[in-house]
Amino acid sequence: MSHLIFGAGQIGCFIGACMHEAGVDVSFLARRHIKAMLEHGLLLTDYQGYRSEVTHLQCVDTTQARPFDVVWLTVKCTAVQPSLDELAAFVGQDTIIMCCQNGLGSDQIVRERFPNNQVLRVMVPFNVVLQENEQANSQVREVSKFANYHRGSEGTLCIEKNHSDRLAAWMKLMNSSCLDVAEESNMTGLQWAKLQLNLGNSVNALADIPVKAMLMQRNYRLVIASLMDELLNVAQSQHIQLPKVASVKGHWIPYVLRLPDILFKLLANKMLAIDPTVRTSMWWDIKNGKPTEIQYLNGAVERAGQALGIACPINNAIIALISKKQNGELKGAISASELRKYVLSNDSSKLNG
């Protein structure tokens, strides 16, 4: 079975290289600088000390387009619509398309364009980053010249359950590799549960510090908890059951986040079991001057709330701040106390920048 990673970046390179290691026939479509790294070879590492050099990775470009059995769409949400024409050249009538985006709605864009194909949603629970030289572990740098994709947190790659067994052999291969995969029948619930965690991406981008350091500050946690309350309210009104994706059930997370620091540190050990350097994908987007996925994350909650007549003022305020951050009106990091005052009491005089 042939697999194509379409839009190989942090997630695509990591997942695709794990597939290659597992013996899967996988090719990559990537931007030129990433293609050069892939063709040279990659170093895969993870937060638990896993380390493997992966070579002989195969890239394709649009001039070599042909249908693949499975196409993994690993571009950002904002790149899904603009990618559709190029994607079409790799999609045949039996191609399965895997949508690996965070947030809600990217699969719908793909389904509308490819109504006769099987389009499956994929939930990526873990964080991957292309380690920059100054971040890379010096031991790793000494022995590898390869670009280092580092997985900074745990989790099983979840694929929407389908009623064919076309992926059975692939799943078996993968589950003996560095990447665990599983099928999920409640994919809508799972996407909302992951979305609940990703609501903190925007706070992380505004805080401009690693996730772990952000979670150590209660005022940031209070804002994230309030964003989550709104999502939980909207999800409940739609009767969406949220499976557990973190160490604590979704409904309990806002309570844990609101605990005083000393109790939070005691109880949230597993929540804090992430690399101290991990930052969210939205922080990276802002850093790289790219459009953020805010409309597919907090924006998705706000729109679902609107449709139900449920106001989501906290998500609304955060969306406005991210938009200011993107267009350069808001400069520098927002401290935890500033953000709390601004978002939770909506007092704009409390913000610098």
Ligand X SMILES: CC(C)(CO)C(=O)C(=O)O
Rule CB under 6 A: which of 90-149 touch ligand X?
A: 102, 126-127
Residue 9 binds to ligand NDP (criterion: CB under 6 A): yes
Residue 295 binds to ligand X (criterion: CB under 6 A): no
Rule CB under 6 A: which of 23-62 touch ligand NDP?
A: 29-31, 34
Site string for ligand NDP, 87-126 (x = CB under 6 A): -------------xxx---------------------x--
Rule CB under 6 A: which of 149-178 touch ligand X?
A: 153
One-letter amino acid of 222: L
CA distance 43 to 4: 20
Cα 243 to the center of its chain, rounded Å: 17
Any alpha helices (H) in the chain, and if so which ranges? 10-21, 32-40, 77-88, 106-113, 138-143, 168-174, 187-207, 211-215, 218-237, 253-258, 261-267, 281-287, 298-308, 313-326, 336-345
Please check whether residue 159 is in contact with residue 98, taking contact to mean a CB–CB distance below 8 angstroms. yes
71 contact choice in ligand X, ligand NDP, none (CB below 5 to 8 Å, kind-dependent): none
The piece of 17-25, 171-179, 278-286, 335-343 that touches ligand X (CB under 6 A) is: 278-286
CA distance 299 to 301: 5
Residue 311 CB neighbour total at 10 angstroms: 12
* Out of 27, 45, 95, 127, the residue judged to bind ligand NDP by CB under 6 A: 127
The set of long-range contacts for 340-343, using a CB threshold of 8 Å and a minimum separation of 24, is 340/219, 340/220, 340/222, 340/223, 342/317, 343/223, 343/226, 343/314, 343/317, 343/318
Residue 16 binds to ligand NDP (criterion: CB under 6 A): no
Nearer to ligand X, 67 or 105 (CB): 105
| Three-class DSSP category at 240 | coil
Nearer to ligand NDP, 38 or 257 (CB): 38
Residue 292 binds to ligand NDP (criterion: CB under 6 A): no
Residues of the shown chain interacting with ligand NDP in the complex, contacts defined by CB under 6 A: 7, 9-12, 29-31, 34, 74-77, 79, 83, 86, 100-102, 124, 127-128, 281, 290, 293
Residues of the shown chain interacting with ligand X in the complex, contacts defined by CB under 6 A: 102, 126-127, 153, 197-198, 201, 278, 280-281
